[in-house]
Structure 1
């Protein structure tokens, strides 16, 4: 087994480029000031927020192996279509079985950002409720897919977290949506379904990787849109709208 084979883009080229295009649009809107107040409402500096999204996108290439499950035969070098999204199964040589890994861009970065937002906005309990709600939805809709692992329709984390966040708190809807969508997808779709991955023939099952990464990434964008549409206030209690 070559360790470098655990690193690969989770989506096919056109779909990955579409997410990069979405990120570029966010960057332009931040530069012209259209979304700066939205990020500040979330408790993030606009520049730092864009770098986090960029880091998440680029970090999706990196998987950190943690567990090895024996497998008689693994799928290699395929593109799997699931709910209109095309996920890449890497080409592997001399593979020992199924590798459980943690994706840097889809798990580590969103996870750490969620903890920061919960602390910054002092919404630990609301965040926990939102995570539990989204995790329940994601766990119900996630499906084991041969050769891939666990997959989830792309907009499930973003839409479910947005609805639950608005019901919990309009003021903190944006950070709650990010926290709930990110951690809820990782827990509900990936972690709670790890018992189902053996026997799927997937060479790599990446927590926050192929199957859930796109949903987690879109959640970050939806959270920003929520911040721009709601009259939320910043963590200091003052309105954080555009400067006059």
Structure 2
């Protein structure tokens, strides 16, 4: 059922069924592949203890120390790179069929979606950046209806790139405060917001 929905969404974007299934399978298996791209260092106060002996009596003395935390930032193949590639393909298609005006509308949609999604995104300690599930596809649908041109393409691009830019890239400086050993952009792969928001938006317009 889910695979069929993905096929229908890609068909509405002008992508052949055979390629749609290939993208679906690639995203599914690609969700297990995280490619490190950067390391973020942060310094946090930590309470440690040391033992001292005074007149033969051992005491435990707490003291404040500064420890270094390293967060590895990675991009997920299935949840980020593949949707990003599809978005770039759609932009090129818009350029060829509609022209620069269509591309400008798509860019406007991405900018608006990024700002809205960033306003509701929140860093979650030990996890990453969280966004309410319904917000990206809803924003993408509204933008597609308002711009009233090439609705499936606008919905997919704004839902995908808007989530990538608004939730992840615009919160880059907050990643060091999350406290996770690794933060993966698009990390949940096929079921990640970046992947699903674009597809859901296409299905609903």
Inter-CA distance 135–166: structure 2 relative to 1 (3 Å threshold): same
Aligned twin of 1:193: 171
Looking at structure 1, the residues matched to 117 and 147 of structure 2 have their Cα atoms a distance apart, in angstroms, of 18
Higher relative helix content: 2
Q: Find 2:72's aligned residue among 68, 76, 99.
A: 99
Report the TM-score, using the length of structure 1 for normalisation: 0.65
Q: How many angstroms does 1:40 deviate by? A: 4.0
Partner residue, 1:48: 19
Give unmatched runs, 5+ long, in structure 2.
45-68, 96-101
> What is the alpha-carbon distance in structure 2 between the residues aligned to residue 165 and residue 178 of structure 1?
9
Query: How far, CA to CA, are the matches of 1:159 and 1:211 in structure 2?
Result: 20
Structure with more of its chain in strand, by fraction: 2
**How far is 1:105 from its partner?**
1.3
Aligned partner of 2:155 in structure 1 is 177
Q: Deviations over 1:81-128 (max 9, x none)?
A: xxxxxxxxxxxxxxx721011111121111111010111133321110
Q: Does 1:138 pair with 2:117?
A: yes
How far apart in 1 are the matches of 2:134 and 2:92? 26
**Alpha-carbon distance between aligned partners in 2 of 1:191 and 1:153, rounded to the nearest angstrom:** 17
- Superimposed CA distance per residue, residues 20-46 of structure 1 (whole angstroms, 9 cap, x where no aligned partner): x623x436xx5xxxx3xx644422112
* Distance (Å, rounded) in 1 between the aligned partners of 2:106 and 2:193: 18
Equivalence for 1:79: none
CA contact (8 A) 2:123 2:175 kept: yes
Give 3-state SS (helix, strand or coil) of 2:176's partner.
coil
What CA deviation, in whole Å up to 9, does each residue of 1:25-83 have, x standing for no partner? 436xx5xxxx3xx644422112212321332232121111111123568xxxxxxxxxx
Kept in 1, the 8 Å contact 2:35–2:77? The answer is yes
Pick which of 147-156 and 189-198 moved more: 147-156
Partner of 2:2: 22
Residue deviations 1:119-162 (CA, integer Å, cap 9, x gap)? 11333211101111110111001000000121112222111111
- Post-superposition offset of 1:192: 0.5
Structure 1 residues 213 and 142: alpha-carbon distance in aligned structure 2, compared to 1, 3 A threshold: farther
1:129 corresponds to: 108
Q: Secondary structure at the match of 2:36?
A: strand
Query: 2:65 — aligned with what?
Result: none
Distance 1:150 1:165 in 2: 25
Pick the aligned partner of 1:115 from 88, 92, 97. Answer: 88
Gaps of 5+ in 1: 1-20, 74-95, 230-244
Q: Among 217, 224, 239, which residue is 2:195 paired with?
A: 217
